[in-house]
Amino acid sequence: MQTSFSPVIPAGRKLRVVGDVHGDANAFAFAAATDRFIVQLGDLTDYGPDSPGALQIMFRVIDEGRGLFLLGNHDYKLARALQGQPVHIGPALAATIGQLNKALRERTVTEIARAPSWLIHKRLVFVHGGFHTAMLTEPSPLGLRRPEGPIARALFGEPTGRMQADGFPERSLRWVDRIPAGLTVYCGHDQRSMDGRPYVRRGAAGGRAIFLDTGAGKGGHLSWIDLG
């Protein structure tokens, strides 16, 4: 196991950007079978049948120096729950916690606590939930901090304050219009695709967002994109 870890994309490496896994370890194993450097966009666990397997694959990738994952809202909530902090534990999270042994719980908290909330690489932004212009000038903080400002945007996108018919918060995509021209944001969090392919949305300022959550662990499938 590595004794130290820096959440940086190595220069010159070809990339594989992987969307929300949500416990679909079988599909994640296929995505991880590459010599490309893996950037996983967060939400490794919950809903799917094998959250421990998904975590173990990600940790093996980290140990081998082949990739990293970003902090997603499900990862953040899992780590807080494992630390005994007061969080609402629904059926999906309860199932995940029940599948983790002591050693995997400890490793999970360690890795989630040092996962970046966003990463900038050339003219690319990698983030779980949504883009904030402060991400272009502020380094991503590490540690399980209170989610506010750009951290809240990274984890949760841009909630409208309303609830959808399915019981989940409604989230606006107004932040896409603030992506500068020439910049591409790769994110997950919301299953925006209507045809099983990653959803691409262009913003008013000339940038674009590519949503890679295509429903893995929730009746859909896992998507990834190779860059370089």
Provide the CATH number for the domain around residue 96: 3.60.21.10
Query: Residue 121: inside a domain, yes or no?
Result: yes
Q: Give yes or no for residue 6 having a pLDDT over 70.
A: no
Query: Residue 185: inside a domain, yes or no?
Result: yes
pLDDT band at 164 (very low <50, low <70, confident <90, very high): confident
The pLDDT tens digits of the residues spanning 186-203 come to: 999 988 888 889 999 999
Query: Residue 108: inside a domain, yes or no?
Result: yes
Domains held by the chain: number: 1
Query: Residue 61: inside a domain, yes or no?
Result: yes
Output the CA torsion sign for 15, 179, 191, 55: positive
Beta-ladder partners of 18: 40, 224
Quote the domain boundaries for residue 50: 15-227
Closest by CA to 175, choosing from 126, 141, 209, 219, is 209
Query: Residue 10: inside a domain, yes or no?
Result: no
Query: Residue 161: inside a domain, yes or no?
Result: yes
For residues 176 and 125, is the Cβ–Cβ distance under 8 A?
no
What is the rounded CA–CA span in Å between residue 81 and residue 86?
Answer: 7
pLDDT band at 163 (very low <50, low <70, confident <90, very high): confident
Q: What is the pTM of this model?
A: 0.93
Query: Residue 39: inside a domain, yes or no?
Result: yes
Query: Residue 139: inside a domain, yes or no?
Result: yes
Q: Give yes or no for residue 34 having a pLDDT over 60.
A: yes
